[in-house]
Structure formats: structure tokens, C-alpha cells
Amino acid sequence: MIECKRRLQNWRRQSLADQRDAKGRLPREVVPPYVSVKEAVFPFNKFPGVDPILGPEMRSTGEVMGVARSFGEAMLKSQLGAGSRLPDKGTVVITVKDADKPRAVAVARDLVALGFKVVATKGTFAAIAAAGIAARQVNKVKDGRPHIMDMVKAGEIQLVFTTVDETRTAIADSRVIRTAALANRITYYTTMAGCEAATEALKHRSDISVLSLQELHAELA
């Protein structure tokens, strides 16, 4: 133990130029020829009725990682590992805050190109429709029936993309869709970055590959 500590101290005192390997090569940054996506696993399904919106006090019960040649495929693998089911077809509901509407339009365009149907609440629908993308409008719960909750409970929604302003009122108003998605085992994303990443993952549903750790490590040599 003492010898190990001494060697560690000596190594820390060395300059970068002194830290050569057995073949005399200087240290170099290793840039893997693949992409790794880590995903946290949260136990929301064990607490019925809880609001699953992410917050700084959250504690995950584990983590998984997807590795692939592209970000989209790595994202898909990470979701599969975490138990989040991404649909092969169906309807995606999009309801986002004003600041996210331009990005939501791009997401909607990709979803339609992938063969999904898109429904959106009033403001989001207006932005999507203005871009010439096929979509259908659905009411928020406060706007009366038929509304978004009716579609969720009827099994008409397969994926939920929702973001809200970080105000107490906005979070409380949108709580119902998040809890409904959780109760009905519908995969949902509550950040625009997450929505975009999930959309990229959907593009790789039919070409997912399997890579061994031995293969990956061999490529780092």
C-alpha cells in the first residue's frame, strides 16, 4: 500500500511529457469511434399519482448505457435498457412552451416523415400547421372535452412530448398529462432535448445492431 501511494505521488509530480507508456509514447486523448448514451432509471412506476417531471432533488435507482455507431441508435439502446418503450407506429402528442415551438416544428416534421401521426394542443398545433406539417389539434383539459386526457385513456396516444415554463402554475396545470402517461405506461419526455433525442432514436428502430465490449475495446488500441 505504501509503495502504491509513493508511485502515485511520483506520477502526479511528473509532467505530461514524462508520462510515457512502455513503448515510449506520450499520453493522447482517446476519441472512441462510437457513441455512448447513459440513461438514468427512475422508480416512478412504484409511486402511483406522483408527478414525474424532473427536478434537482431526483434520485435514480440505477443507470444504463447504450453504445452504437450513431447517436440515434445509442439513444434507442439506452431507452430499451431503461425500460422505456419507443413505439414503432401510432400517434405522438406534442404540447410545448412557446420558447420550444420552433424546435417542436422540426420534431413534428421528422415524426410525420417516419410515419407517425401528430396531435398537438392549440398553440403548438398552430406553429406546426403554419409550417405545412400534417397534424390534428386536441384540447388541453382546461379547454373542455374531447381533450388530451380522453385520448390518453382511450389508448390513442403512443408517445408524449411535453415541456412547460418553469413556473409553479404552469407545472401544476400540465401535471395531469404527465401522471396520465405514467399511469397508462406511455413513454414521455419533458425536455425539448429529450424529445429531439427520442425522435433521432426512432429513426433507428429497424437497424439496431449488437456490439460486444471486446469489439469496442479493440477499436481503442
The 10s digit of each residue's pLDDT in 125-134 is 999 999 999 9
C-alpha cell at 44: 416512478
Whether 116 and 92 have beta carbons less than 8 Å apart is answered as yes
In this model, does residue 158 exceed pLDDT 90?
yes
Do strands 62-68 and 35-41 pair parallel, antiparallel, or not at all (unpaired)?
antiparallel
By residue count, the chain amounts to: 221
The 10s digit of each residue's pLDDT in 59-98 is 556 888 999 999 999 999 999 998 888 999 999 999 999 9
Nearest to 122 by CA among 101, 103, 107: 101
Say which amino acid occupies 48. Answer: P
Give the pLDDT confidence score for residue 160 in this predicted structure: 92
Whether 204 and 173 have beta carbons less than 8 Å apart is answered as no
Give the pLDDT confidence score for residue 3 in this predicted structure: 67
Give the pLDDT confidence score for residue 17 in this predicted structure: 65
Give the pLDDT confidence score for residue 149 in this predicted structure: 85
Do strands 117-120 and 136-137 pair parallel, antiparallel, or not at all (unpaired)?
parallel
Give the pLDDT confidence score for residue 85 in this predicted structure: 87
In this model, does residue 118 exceed pLDDT 70?
yes
Half-sphere CA count of 86, side-chain side, radius 13 A: 27
Give the pLDDT confidence score for residue 94 in this predicted structure: 94
In this model, does residue 136 exceed pLDDT 90?
yes
Look at the block and give the residue holding cell 390534428: 136
